[in-house]
Amino acid sequence: MKAKYEIWQLPMSNKNVFKSFRRTKDTLTIEDYVMVYASTCTYNNDYNLEDIFFLLNQNHPADYHARSLSVSDLICIIDSRNERRWKYVDSFGFCDVTNLINMRNRL
């Protein structure tokens, strides 16, 4: 499935930057984040998340000017129906936070 994705990062001054989901789940809100990058990908569940993580850590695209993808960052996958799926970059893998973000932010 062809999809768009966005990378959202906390400002370095935010107290939750680089913290695991376990430590931030009670206060996680999209208003604290800034969208720093958008592109397209072929989305196939979690497999492509690893590709995005590798790309934005080891082989930055020429138009990517944010810090490397890290714990506390969000990846938003936007499918062809314009539905958003939010993934929290955690210490080991990714946490699906779609319902949490939608509930708290009414997106």
CA distance 88 to 32: 14
User: Is the model's pLDDT at 107 over the cut of 80?
Assistant: no
pLDDT, one tens digit per residue, over 43-101 is 665 458 888 999 899 988 899 999 999 999 999 998 888 889 999 999 999 999 999 88
The pTM is what?
0.90
- What are the pLDDT digits (tens) for 55-70? 899 988 899 999 999 9
Alpha-carbon distance of 99 to 1, in angstroms, equals 21
